[in-house]
Amino acid sequence: MTPERRRALLTMGATLVIGIIIGALATGMFARQFYHGRGGKRGEGREMRDGRRGTLTDKIFKVVKADSSQQKTMKPILDQTMSRLDEVEEKSNQDAYAELDSLKTKLHPILTAEQAERLEKFLSSKRKAHEQEEKSEHEREHDHH
């Protein structure tokens, strides 16, 4: 295999991996907006006060037009589902971080030291920003309960 062909295959492989990661992160972002009611919609202040669980629960109650007895029966099921969604989101984040670490390892032989350092700074800044967002969201939830 010629060096040019090897480089082309590595570039195509890296592009594929980066595309998959971007797709997974974008899908996660859209799912998070759907499940947790984030976004610049009217009533956002009320949604933040109610927290993620209350927002989804209220939306489902409205959509199905549940009466009070149905709401009492549905609430534990919805709470259990939200807990499971939180676990899925956490596992997804951990899997994404593992994939990004793997990506850094795979790209390291291809990149110069300066490029590798820029990649490290970029990925670690994204991780820190995401962790800050989760921390502030967690604090908002506890402040309003």
Domain positions in the chain are 3-143
Sign, CA dihedral 69-72-75-77, equals negative
Residue 13 structure tokens: 């492989």
Residue by residue, pLDDT tens for the chain (145 residues) are: 788 888 888 888 888 888 888 877 777 777 766 665 544 444 444 344 345 666 888 888 899 999 999 989 998 998 888 888 888 888 888 888 888 888 888 988 998 989 988 888 888 887 777 777 776 666 665 565 5
- Residue 92 · residue 122 · CB < 8 Å: no
Strand, coil or helix: 19: helix
- Residue 56 · residue 86 · CB < 8 Å: no
Return d(Cα 44, Cα 33) in angstroms, integer: 12
How many CB atoms are located within 10 Å of the residue 121 CB? 10
